[in-house]
Structure 1
Amino acid sequence: MDCPMSSPVTIDAIRQAAKAIEGAVLRTPLLPARHLDVLTGTRIFVKYENMQDTNAFKERGALNKLLSLSKAEQSKGVIAMSAGNHAQAVALHAGRLGIPAVIVMPKHTPHVKISATEAYGATVVLAGETVDDAREEADRLAKEHGYTWVHPYDDPWVIAGQGTIALEMLEDQPDLDVLVVPIGGGGMVAGMAIAAKALKPSIEIIGVEAELFPSMHNALAGLDRPIGGNTLAEGIAVRRVGTLTRQIAKDLVDDIIIVSETQIEQAVNAYLTQQKTIAEGAGAAGLAAVMAQPERFKGKQVGLVLCGGNIDPRLLTSIMLRELVRSGNIMSIRCTIPDRPGILGEISTLIGNLGGNILEVSHHRLFLDVPAKGATLDVTVETRGSAHADTIVKALEDKGISVSHLMGSDLHRN
């Protein structure tokens, strides 16, 4: 993974990267987000990197690296290790440039990601159970065949490519006070910090990490917080940050905010419902940080990078439904009722008269914790919000019906 470019990366290298990738990578828009302003109490501008061909920012660094290769390196081919956006970025631009590409992925990578990578013309090798296993196989293949590594983050050419995001943001909106940038291995935050601080030394660079993967926070603060788990933000779920990216972050990143899984979910939902755009968990991490600490950003002009939009539609649907539960717009309750004719009609009429829309009903008579002459009724109701839901529950209880919530109490905790 040796690279002839000097280290650390300079603003001139980032400007050269911008010229090199111009026309092959989309110059994505930076747009004001007034609905998010209201939600967070600040002034937000969103950089829509989910509009790239592969729906993620990774194309910038991958292409810049590929363009740096000699003819001999190009003819031998490149190799990358990734289970996500980096894989598709390398595959797309290597194919466009006629460079053979091998992408090593863990065996259990979702088929949709494998297919998308192969569709760009790359050869996919499945190896190992984990990303580290896949990295070992990629190392072996690189040595055996003489492939050039295209590292996802710890490479000066890649870092310079990612830094072009900040160049564009500050060209479009020079008055930005702070950039809030998701951190995985650190390539994007490193490149953006170099560019932004060179153009505007007063600007703040705030990194964001998922609570389950605080790798850069640990590295910079000398902490040993646990790392690992099933995170929605798998795009920034990195156990070890880069050597070069760590040093750049130490010098230029002003702070790192840790966000919870619930906060990431809420940010994904906010992008969808407020901005009508799709963000994967990692892509929404910046907004999650601002939503989690709005007082910190009050009165500032904040630049967010929606760095990726590759999310499973089923997962996105689940997030939307969970947010409806959090807000009280969907309520699922269990009513303990007397087992007599007409009771179901009375309950449905009561709920309907109060403006609730019954989505689902399940009637049980065999639960042993209910009297023999009783029954339980599980009802899922669409409401106008938590206050309306409380009104419906109170009306049921006033009628002598015992009500308990089946879901939602745990979802309200951030």
Structure 2
Amino acid sequence: MLTLEMIQDAKKTLEGVARVTPLYESAFINPNANVFIKCENMQVTGSFKLRGAYVKTASLTEEEASKGVIACSAGNHAQGVALAAQKKGIKATICMPAGAPLAKVEATKSYGAEVVLVPGVYDDAAAKAVELQQEKGYTFLHPFNDEYVMAGQGTVGLEIMEKLPEADVVFVPIGGGGLISGVACAIKSINPNCKVYGVQAAGAPSMKQSIEHKKIEKLASVSTMADGIAVKEPGTLTFEACMKYVDGIVTVTEAEIASAILMLLEKHKMVAEGAGAVSVAAAMTNKVDIKGKNVVCVVSGGNVDVNVLDRIIDKGLQENGRIAEFSVMMADKPGQLIQLLQIIAQTGANILDVNHDRRAKGVAVSNVVVNVTVETRNKAHYEEMVAALKAQGYTI
């Protein structure tokens, strides 16, 4: 079983390899709590995964290392294993889901690993890795269900306790459970009064469901922008650790994740991937009572594809009421459109797009539908604009 001593040994192994990442205070995440961000998105390779991957690789015997290593990953463990293997002079093969962000795939290749893209999600990549391991005789490096990996990830917890021993609550993302297992073990061993909560995407609640039913369960499917935690089934070791150390598991929606990513970008100039931002989303939306408490959000990674980031930002703006789309039916007469747009402009809303549609289905010949996209300050500003339009007789 994972112990504090193992995590402390892992810390020594990681000296000169992994960064001691910053713990930044945030005035924006939740105004009712003292919130801090543990910035594992600033770690070498862009996520916490290097910690566990390197500790595991360092533990290999000469015989195991000589066979080469194989791993499965949605992207961050892949980079961690690839870099660890490169530093140790070991051949690495990584199985990744075919839908993994291009940035993660290319980064993994840049560390010298051979990448095998597998159709499906993480679990499908894991099955392929096992198949290749049996066929080629590689040494398998599991991304979370391994005590050395869990110990490496647990060094995040040691750093939190060193910087903020008075922490009351720590939010940790959960995919397979390696990070929270190590972090919770470290924190509970040092400060049993500190609460540790796991956070999963609502579309991939495998550990939450397993803990609630007190047995490991496999989801039929997962669906979330947080690809790093899109795991169908938790590990046996991580399940046991969560049962022992974790105080609870909450879920966040896709819209809440997008809002958290947007907030980190705007307020902290910080890039977080979906999996990394779930902890911040939980604190922002008060998934547990944190009023007046010292709270740490572990932002586990920042390896997000810029093309995906653009769509996430748009979703976050919509969720916060800062971009809105609406339709207006009105008479098809000269001057009507300019009157509509003037009312919108007078409220201070910024018009992004206008579509004047005479051919919309079900619209009378004498009418027209105008579809408008606007930029507003917040939901209240949007409602103010709608009220101004309705006051002039428009139906929204």
Give the alignment's TM-score, normalised by structure 1.
0.89
1:337 aligns with 2:326: no
Structure 2 match to 1:144: 135
Q: Kindly tell me: are residues 225 and 262 of structure 1, through their superposed partners in 2, closer, same or farther at Cα, counting changes over 3 Å? A: farther
Question: What is the one-letter code of the residue matched to 2:113?
Answer: A
Q: Kindly tell me: are residues 234 and 166 of structure 1, through their superposed partners in 2, closer, same or farther at Cα, counting changes over 3 Å? A: same
> In 1, are the aligned partners of 2:122 and 2:231 still within 8 Å (CA)?
no
1:268 aligns with 2:277: no
Q: Kindly tell me: are residues 289 and 110 of structure 1, through their superposed partners in 2, closer, same or farther at Cα, counting changes over 3 Å? A: closer
> In 2, are the aligned partners of 1:214 and 1:225 still within 8 Å (CA)?
no
Aligned with 1:337: secondary structure?
strand
Structure 1 Cα separation of the partners of residues 161 and 3 of structure 2: 17
Give the alignment's TM-score, normalised by structure 2.
0.93
Structure 2 Cα separation of the partners of residues 192 and 303 of structure 1: 12
> In 2, are the aligned partners of 1:56 and 1:308 still within 8 Å (CA)?
yes
Structure 2 Cα separation of the partners of residues 393 and 249 of structure 1: 48
Aligned with 1:305: secondary structure?
strand
Aligned with 1:284: secondary structure?
helix
Q: Kindly tell me: are residues 187 and 376 of structure 1, through their superposed partners in 2, closer, same or farther at Cα, counting changes over 3 Å? A: same
Question: What is the one-letter code of the residue matched to 1:330?
Answer: I
Aligned with 2:44: secondary structure?
coil
Structure 2 match to 1:412: none
2:54 to 49, 63, 85: 63
1:86 aligns with 2:86: no
Q: Which runs of 4+ in 1 moved over 6 A?
A: none
Alignment of 1:299-378 (within 5 A): 299-378=292-371
1:102 to 81, 86, 93: 93
Structure 1 match to 2:192: 201
Which blocks of at least 5 consecutive residues in structure 1 are unaligned?
A: 1-7, 404-414
> In 2, are the aligned partners of 1:214 and 1:227 still within 8 Å (CA)?
no
What's the CA shift for 1:391?
Answer: 2.8
> In 1, are the aligned partners of 2:328 and 2:371 still within 8 Å (CA)?
yes
Structure 1 match to 2:274: 281
What is the CA deviation profile of residues 168-198 of structure 1, one whole-angstrom value per residue up to 9, with x for unaligned ones?
1110111111211111111111111111111
What is the CA deviation profile of residues 269-304 of structure 1, one whole-angstrom value per residue up to 9, with x for unaligned ones?
222222221111111111222223266111211111
What's the CA shift for 1:54?
Answer: 1.5
Q: How many residues align?
A: 394
1:168 aligns with 2:159: yes
Alignment of 1:126-275 (within 5 A): 126-222=117-213, 228-275=221-268
> In 2, are the aligned partners of 1:213 and 1:227 still within 8 Å (CA)?
no
> In 1, are the aligned partners of 2:29 and 2:283 still within 8 Å (CA)?
no
> In 2, are the aligned partners of 1:42 and 1:294 still within 8 Å (CA)?
no
Structure 2 Cα separation of the partners of residues 114 and 76 of structure 1: 23
Structure 2 match to 1:26: 19
Aligned with 2:145: secondary structure?
coil
Question: What is the one-letter code of the residue matched to 2:263?
Answer: A
Greater mean alpha carbon deviation, residues 264-273 or residues 242-251: 264-273
Structure 2 Cα separation of the partners of residues 365 and 301 of structure 1: 57
Which blocks of at least 5 consecutive residues in structure 2 are unaligned?
A: none
Structure 1 Cα separation of the partners of residues 64 and 226 of structure 2: 34
> In 2, are the aligned partners of 1:370 and 1:376 still within 8 Å (CA)?
yes
What is the CA deviation profile of residues 369-396 of structure 1, one whole-angstrom value per residue up to 9, with x for unaligned ones?
2221221211222223333322322332
Question: What is the one-letter code of the residue matched to 2:201?
Answer: A
Aligned with 1:282: secondary structure?
helix
Structure 1 match to 2:5: 12
CA RMSD of aligned residues (A): 2.0
Structure 1 Cα separation of the partners of residues 367 and 41 of structure 2: 54
Aligned with 2:65: secondary structure?
helix
What is the CA deviation profile of residues 136-188 of structure 1, one whole-angstrom value per residue up to 9, with x for unaligned ones?
33223223333211110011110100000010111011111121111111111
What's the CA shift for 1:108?
Answer: 4.4
Structure 1 Cα separation of the partners of residues 218 and 281 of structure 2: 20
